[in-house]
Amino acid sequence: MKTYKAKALIPGYKLGLDPTKYYVGVPSKYFLKEKSIVYVIYKDNQMFLQGDTPVLKQETFKDRYGREEYTLNYYEYVPELKQVRFLVNGGE
């Protein structure tokens, strides 16, 4: 399992998606394996993304130095606090 700390949430209107929801952009390199699990943290909230979670939008950008391109996968941000407690406490 990999951990990704989101710097900001993206309003849906900026992505052309549902304007009432917020989204998180996660680099595609975190999902190299189909069964990957990514633990996304934003401030005090957390959520889990699995490799089979549907990508709502995908965009490719050049890095700030113009050397390489990277791809962001956008997912709806839905923190799941109960799920985190369950996994951290070993299912208790």
Name the amino acid, one letter, at 75. Answer: Y
Which of 43, 31, 51, 56 has its CA nearest to residue 6?
43
* 2-5, strands of its sheet edge to edge: 2-5, 37-42, 45-50
Name the amino acid, one letter, at 14. Answer: K
Q: Which residues, other chains included, contact 70 with Cβ-Cβ below 8 Å and sequence gap of 6+?
A: 27, 28, 29, 60, 61, 63
Angle at 47 between CA 27 and CA 21, to 5 degrees: 80
Task: Write the pLDDT tens digit of every residue in 40-86.
Answer: 989 888 888 887 788 899 999 888 888 888 899 999 998 875 444 44
pTM, rounded to two decimals: 0.77
Task: Write the pLDDT tens digit of every residue in 78-87.
Answer: 887 544 444 5
